[in-house]
């Protein structure tokens, strides 16, 4: 028996010992008697071949539904990650969701406060009755010195349906500086309200990204990683010439 063949054979036994305890136990029976010929060695090797076919590198897990994980994260970011026990990732989407809602609520509160301030300012300095008035009315209050100036402008333009009843929609600024101050307050409030779109967009993006993340992680979780080893004896002239190992894995 050649030294080359003995070296290859011992390599096979070493592979068995590294990849699996069960394969190690099997390799103990795979000894080399002193008078073992090539034919007997081949037969014993083929008996051991079935033990080398698959080695599990990752433990089996209960599969989770990728669709459910994705839907949960669309509804509540991070919920899909909780479903698959991956809150190490999901916690970031939860924090993003909380921060977006806090920012949105903060802008609403601040915008409401600014709106109340400029309306109160108009009551004090232009005689406005703010009850039941819409957004367009308060915009016109900032653009014209009085309800009379406003109505005259509409009459000149032939926009008769847009005339205000003087008794109901009365205003008359005590000076131009106060009207300008009022308009600055009103525009600041509008800018604050318009900024809410940033957090609204963040809420949508956070849900979409969270859903995609949950989908990817669920699919990855469901696919157990395995290593497949397929040994093959290379024969020549009715004898053993070498050994080939075909190794494949899935992720």
Instruction: Verify that 171 and 234 share a domain, yes or no.
Output: no
Residues 162 and 80 in one domain: yes
Chain segment 127-173, per-residue pLDDT in tens = 999 999 999 999 999 999 999 999 999 999 999 999 999 999 999 99
Confidence of residue 63 (pLDDT cuts 50, 70, 90): confident
Considering the domain architecture, whether residues 127 and 215 belong to the same structural domain is answered as yes
Label residue 251 by pLDDT band (50, 70, 90): very low
How far apart are the C-alpha atoms of 42 and 19, rounded to whole Å? 22
* 119, 166 contact by CB (below 8 A): no
Q: Are 215 and 230 in a shared domain? A: no
Question: What pLDDT, on a 0 to 100 scale, did the predictor assign at position 47?
Answer: 59
- Give, to the nearest 10 degrees, the angle between helix 3-19 and helix 21-28: 140
146-154 long-range contacts (CB < 8 A, ≥24 apart) are 146/171, 146/172, 146/173, 147/171, 147/172, 148/172
In a shared domain, residues 92 and 165: yes
What's the whole-model pTM score?
0.59
Residue 243: phi, psi to the nearest 5?
Answer: -135, 135
Whether residues 139 and 243 fall in one domain = no
Q: Do 48 and 79 fall within a single domain?
A: no
Boundaries of domain holding 92: 66-220
pLDDT value at position 89?
94
Same-domain check for residues 100 and 154: yes
Assess whether 80 and 188 both reside in one domain. yes
Per the structure, the count of domains in the chain is 2
Instruction: Give the pLDDT band of residue 19 (cuts 50, 70, 90).
Output: very low
pLDDT tens digits for range 162-207: 999 999 999 999 999 999 999 999 999 999 999 999 999 999 999 9
pLDDT at 13 over 50: no
């Amino acid at each position: 028996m050649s030294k080359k063949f003995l070296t290859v054979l011992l390599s096979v036994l070493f592979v068995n010992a590294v990849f699996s305890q069960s394969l190690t136990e099997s390799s103990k029976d795979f000894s080399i008697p002193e008078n073992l010929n090539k034919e007997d060695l081949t037969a014993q090797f083929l008996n051991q071949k079935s033990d080398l076919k698959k080695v599990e590198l990752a433990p089996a897990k209960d599969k989770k539904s990728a669709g459910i994980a994705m839907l949960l994260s669309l509804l509540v970011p991070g919920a899909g990650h909780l479903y698959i026990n991956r809150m190490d990732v999901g916690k970031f989407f939860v924090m993003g969701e909380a921060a977006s809602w806090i920012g949105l609520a903060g802008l609403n509160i601040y915008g409401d406060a600014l709106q109340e301030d400029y309306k109160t300012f108009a009551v004090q300095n232009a005689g406005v009755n703010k009850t039941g008035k819409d957004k367009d009315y308060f915009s016109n209050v900032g653009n014209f010195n009085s309800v009379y100036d406003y109505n005259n402008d509409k009459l000149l333009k032939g926009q008769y349906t847009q005339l205000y009843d003087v008794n109901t929609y009365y205003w008359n600024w005590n000076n131009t500086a106060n009207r300008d101050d009022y308009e600055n307050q009103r525009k600041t409030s509008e800018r604050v309200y318009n900024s809410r779109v940033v957090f609204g967009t963040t809420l949508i993006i956070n849900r979409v990204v969270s859903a995609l993340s949950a989908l990817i992680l669920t699919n990855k979780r469901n696919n157990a990683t395995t290593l497949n080893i397929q040994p093959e004896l290379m024969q020549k002239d009715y004898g053993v010439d070498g050994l080939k190992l075909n190794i494949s894995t899935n992720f």
